[in-house]
Structure 1
């Protein structure tokens, strides 16, 4: 799978008359901005399709949110170190896949990172690192190996009190995948789901051209530094240009290294291309934590996965199947 990115250029599609039109709707879902667009000939069909996609995203949120009382995820966290919790096959499988990504990334991605997340606010008020003793007390409760899964009983058990799981680094991607699946099964021929940077597309625009996706310039988030075409694929961009902190003159992203409890630094933007937004979401987080050398080494070992990174000096780094044409 080869991606060609053209810097500082625009892709212009010719206008072809078609009975199909693009219908879009934006909503705040899962605490983030979701924009869902579908290609359809009938307005009523399009509106019903958009409503079904939103319903699916809301359903996913109720399943994976750790803040909604009574959710399966909340029950898992409430019973940390106490008892195993029986969960639906859907949530069990999602946690299992998350564990596999944790193993693949040597712990750079870990849904149990939630145990340390509360130590950071990223509201500009941090002026120093949390006390090391506090950090140490939190990271002992982090580790994918401490999440015990029983497939036969469909149970999840967090082995230590103080543990928490959270799907902030994979949840929106999974929701985008599920919304896409609902729409494809309904017969929607094309569309794009943008979950605050977690994108999933299929088909084409009404004029038959490919979807055009832009990557935000991390040095100026009001501008796009690159545009590219995407079909039947997912792309996720993680960036620290909206949420970061500076301590002792060093810039730290809002993405926390689960192994240390300290926010990652060195990369300001990471875009990952994959077949599923869930996987791209998780890998974008992992690469952010791993850094450009280790991160790109991992990406280059994975089939049909590519990435483009921008470091804190503005340099662009890419995986082996990405070609960049500068104009």
Structure 2
């Protein structure tokens, strides 16, 4: 049975908010991960209204855009790939697709939501893993390509049979930015929006000063190798150390390279980005993991307002801007 907004909202609201002085914290499940809102509202009424609005929007967003919900826009586009039928896009869907246009261009095609086609072929969740043959990969590459997502005013369709769209590389980060904006519009300036460790902060935490955020150690995911101090910025991390499978001693990560139709093999184990928005930070880290140290670092350096750090086989690499945020000796 397909999940509904009501069902998803019930899961979220089953979690009770906690109060720490004049700050409110809510941790809840959504989008396949654990999420946290921590904020100081001007009043208790504002806090309740913000939580109600944010959770309702999130439930609706997940139902509309998750590829795991058969009735979502993404699932319906995928199901109709190649059949010529158009589907209507609401204003938010049009905004998401426009962002995909921009980041596909900015990254030279390395960010490509049609990489969902490769994710379906590889299906890293299956056990045992079926490693696709060379012929299967070559056939796959004829279908991957953002140009195969055709759009007209207020509508879209997938032009190639077997094409699969996946907005997972932008959706959660877009949601962080949207909920952050909801908080700002209600006069909530001190806020952390953390959706599955993709996050954005404004103002100050309960202890005052900047938000101090740990950077997870790729070889010891429950420990931090360092940290950053931020305010009014977003922080995202991508890597190959949490979601992967191994077959015959070979490591296959969940990040797919649309240029090869295979899991990324760049030697990068983790990348972190600080940027003005979570959407931008998330895409920068994903693309850096695919491109590798040299091209990933260049992308960070060439993006206004962004800073980056890459943990790779060759060592740890930071852009100059990243170092100004770094905290040493994080416990």
Distance 2:313 2:63 in 1: 36
Deviation at 1:253, TM superposition (A): 2.0
What do you get for the CA RMSD once the two structures are aligned?
Answer: 2.1
Distance 1:127 1:27 in 2: 31
* Matching residue within 90, 93, 110 for 1:91: 93
The answer to whether structure 1 residue 36 and structure 2 residue 44 are counterparts is no
**3-state SS of 2:162 partner:** coil
Q: Unpaired segments of 5 or more residues in structure 1? A: 1-18
> Is residue 235–residue 274 contact of structure 2 (8 Å, CA) maintained in 1?
yes
TM-score, scaled to structure 1: 0.87
1:219-262 deviations in whole A, cap 9, x for unaligned?
Answer: 10110111111111111111222112234534332101012111
Higher helix share: 2
In the TM superposition, 1:1-327 aligns within 5 A as: 21-40=22-41, 42-81=43-82, 82-123=84-125, 125=127, 129-150=131-152, 153-265=153-265, 266-312=267-313, 315-323=315-323
**3-state SS of 1:91 partner:** helix
Change (3 A) 1:325 1:272: closer
> Is residue 20–residue 39 contact of structure 1 (8 Å, CA) maintained in 2?
no
Change (3 A) 1:260 1:126: farther
1:187-230 deviations in whole A, cap 9, x for unaligned?
Answer: 21211011112101111123431111111011101101111111
Distance 1:28 1:135 in 2: 35
Q: Is the deviation greater in 124-133 or in 57-66?
A: 124-133
Q: Is the deviation greater in 225-234 or in 126-135?
A: 126-135
TM-score, scaled to structure 2: 0.86
Distance 1:308 1:126 in 2: 34
Q: Is the deviation greater in 134-143 or in 114-123?
A: 114-123
Distance 2:61 2:255 in 1: 22
Change (3 A) 1:127 1:62: closer
Tell me which residue corresponds to 1:16. Answer: none
Change (3 A) 1:254 1:69: closer
Q: Unpaired segments of 5 or more residues in structure 2? A: 1-19
More RCO (CA 8 Å, sep 6+): 1
Q: How many residues align?
A: 306
Distance 1:126 1:261 in 2: 20
1:3-24 deviations in whole A, cap 9, x for unaligned?
Answer: xxxxxxxxxxxxxxxx962211
